Amino acid sequence: MPPPALDSRIHAAQPALKHRPKSPNRVLAEAEEQWIFDEGELARTPSIQDGMSIEKEKELRAKGINFIRQVGIMLKLPELTLSTGAIFFNRYLMRMSLVDKPGMKALHHYTLGATCLFLATKVEESCRKMKDMVIACCRVAQKNPNLIIDEQSKDFWKWRDTILLNEDVLLETLCFDLTIEAPHKQLFEMLKHYRVEHNKALRNAAWAFVTDSNMTQLCLLCTSRTIAAAALYAGARLCSVKLPDTHSRPWWEEQGVPLREMIKAANYMSQNYETPPQKGDGTTNATGGAGNASIYGIGSPMALVPDFERRGSTASVASVKRAREDEVNGDREVKKRKVDEHVNGANGGLNGKEKEARQEKDDASEEGEVEE
């Protein structure tokens, strides 16, 4: 009699085997290391060397990446494509300037953002029709989502020719280094490895931290694996989830991420929620995050990781909105009270005159009765 099948010897209640963490691709890791800089190098970018202030450059970077996000949302592009476009945008500005020079006009940050997104749709194989891409860019650039534009308009051909012309410039500047291991993929692999991919709160929090980091220069300071580990760490702290260790080794060591680098990335992420950066004219942006280009409001979530406590207000968007509604309702009540007082006063005056007239009539009738 043949031996029973292997599947029949496995108990039905036995859990599935744990997936081993994917080791980073050596070729991708070496290629990514060429685009990792320190903070000193970020303070000496071509734009800054050409006279632009650090705050102004950060503001333009954030505006350009926000442009990518808004166009991508309008085109319903996946998050990986938007992340790739943001990485292309930041890498380009490490080699080219945003400042015009004699005889050479620099790319506008909106033009650069559109070109980076166009290239990212090809790299991530999420292409859209050129017509739809151009129309979305026109609508976002003019801040009019209902703008009517067709192939006969001047703006349509201007944007189309600009994107196609600057695509070659972008490719040459990036040295045709287009293979990117997005941190979102690394994050999902880590979630599956620790079997917490079905924890909706943790998954959404970590995913949001990675997505918000695209508005900063974190992709130039840390590798994608470090960014994914920092987002998972911050999300676990925020959701009070403890990730298991392996053979008395912390989970970040199992993922091949040094603790110092992970904390550095987490601290840099937290700056996206703490103090709004200053504009070039000294005024403060009102939207929070990395410049006025952040599409998230004042009440961004607080990252519960060591050494970055929020020093500002902890009011959420809902509380701010509720306060504004109370203020508006209070003003309405005051106005209504004043109107009621005015009407009552007028009615009181009329009632007084009616009483006087009635009293005079009664007096007259009494006098008539006496005379009779």
DSSP reduced 3-state for 16 = coil
Indicate whether 324 pLDDT > 60: no
Residue-wise pLDDT for 345-372, tens only, equals 555 554 555 555 555 555 554 444 434 3
Q: If you average pLDDT over residues 85-114, what whole number do you get? A: 90
Q: Domain 182-314 classified CATH 1.10.472.10? A: yes
Query: DSSP code of 249?
Result: B
**Which tokens belong to 26?**
């050596």
For residue 326, pLDDT over 70 is answered with no
- How many Å apart are CA 233 and CA 183, to the nearest integer? 14
The region, left, alpha or beta by phi > 0 then psi within -120 to 50, assigned to residue 300 is beta
DSSP state of 324: H
Residues 137-156 have pLDDT tens digits of: 999 998 888 888 888 888 88
**What pLDDT is attached to residue 367?**
43
pLDDT at 100: 86
For residue 96, give Cα distances in angstroms to 33, 52, 233, 293, 301.
Answer: 19, 13, 34, 21, 34
> Out of 33-47, 165-179, 265-279, which region has the weakest mean confidence (pLDDT)?
265-279
**Which range, 30-39, 120-129, 250-259, 332-341, has the best average confidence (pLDDT)?**
120-129
How much is the pLDDT for 17?
A: 44
pTM passes above 0.95: no
Of 72, 81, 116, 82, residue with least CA distance to 96: 116
Q: What is the pLDDT confidence band of residue 102, given thresholds at 50, 70 and 90?
A: confident
246 DSSP β-pair partners: 249
- DSSP per residue over 68-134, as a string? HHHHHHHHT--HHHHHHHHHHHHHHTTTS-SS-BTTBPPPPHHHHHHHHHHHHHHHTT----HHHHH
For domain 38-180, give the fold.
Cyclin A; domain 1 (1.10.472)
Return the CA Rg of the chain.
31
